[in-house]
Amino acid sequence: MAGKLDGRVALVTGGAQGIGAATVRRLSEDGANVIALDLDAAGAKKAVEGLPTEGLGVAADITSRAEVKHAVDEAVGRFGKIDIVVNNAGVTRDGLFYKMGDDDWDLVLATHLTGSFYVTQAASESMVKNKFGRIIFLSSRSALGNRGQANYSAAKAGLQGLARTLAIEFGPYGITANCVAPGFVETAMTKAITEKTGGSWDDLVAAASERAAVKRIGQPEDIAAVIAFLASPESGFVTGQTIYATGSPAV
């Protein structure tokens, strides 16, 4: 069966697990050849095993421009181009603002903002050449403010500004730039935060489900589905937007 993304090539950062791995799988199911890029080399390779299309797992740290260049060159060498980039790799280093250290501030901004800058700049070369591209950033509901996440929330809000500006600069080349802003999604990231705060995962899920209009928390596949729409050719009139996927209208 013909897929919406047949003939396309998608690069997903942080593709080894969680939302990234679900996105790698979903874009492959839609017909794209996929590159999973991650700090975790074994995880990146595993994420592309058994897919219906061709996949490549690449190890790279997106906070290093040199490593990003090397990875993008390898991907373009293998598949000839990149059509879709999903800037998904992320970290959290939570803490109240008054005692937040430079290391925690710097790592979170370097990963989400600077890493997305390096990856998108490198991947956009072939998009401009081919006059087609889909740039997607993982923002967050936390962009609207979240206690203990000054660094993360600043970075996630910054990505929304980046998407709006790239929408303007790249629009004439058939390239769109958008954000997906998830709410609470079940992944290693959210489980690690719970462990750190000493809370019970089950209690947290129950409370978050109760707060959500749809009475459940998100799964990685929920977010991958929104990304798949923004990655598809049919989303070409949507650009510079942030789609909140939080299970509630009240973000």
Ligand X SMILES: NC(=O)c1ccc[n+]([C@@H]2O[C@H](COP(=O)([O-])OP(=O)(O)OC[C@H]3O[C@@H](n4cnc5c(N)ncnc54)[C@H](O)[C@@H]3O)[C@@H](O)[C@H]2O)c1
With b for 16 or more beta-carbon neighbours within 10 A and e for fewer, the 161-174 pattern comes to: ebbbebbeebeeee
List the Cα angle 45/192/102 in 5-degree steps.
95
CA dist., res. 177 & res. 170, Å (int): 8
Of 98, 118, 152, 244, catalytic: 152
88 binds ligand X (CB under 6 A): yes
* H or E element, residue 108: helix 102-109
Q: Which residue is nearest to ligand X (CB)?
A: 18
242 binds ligand X (CB under 6 A): no
Please identify which residue in 5, 9, 10, 19 interacts with ligand X, judged by CB under 6 A. 19
CA dist., res. 114 & res. 101, Å (int): 19
190 binds ligand X (CB under 6 A): yes
| Catalytic annotation present for 98 | no
Please identify which residue in 5, 18, 150, 227 interacts with ligand X, judged by CB under 6 A. 18
Give the shortest CB-87-to-ligand X separation in angstroms: 8
Q: Which of residues 111-150 bind ligand X (CB under 6 A)?
A: 111, 115, 138, 140
Of 58-66, 70-78, 116-124, 231-239, the segment contacting ligand X by CB under 6 A is 58-66
Of 27-35, 77-85, 119-127, 182-190, the segment contacting ligand X by CB under 6 A is 182-190
Asked whether 163 and 179 are in contact (CB, 8 A), the reply is yes
CA dist., res. 224 & res. 233, Å (int): 16
CA dist., res. 161 & res. 176, Å (int): 14
Asked whether 5 and 26 are in contact (CB, 8 A), the reply is no
158 binds ligand X (CB under 6 A): no
Give the shortest CB-91-to-ligand X separation in angstroms: 5
Q: Catalytic residues, which ones?
A: 152
Binding site for ligand X (CB under 6 A): 13-14, 16-20, 38-40, 43, 61-63, 88-91, 111, 115, 138, 140, 182, 184-185, 187-190
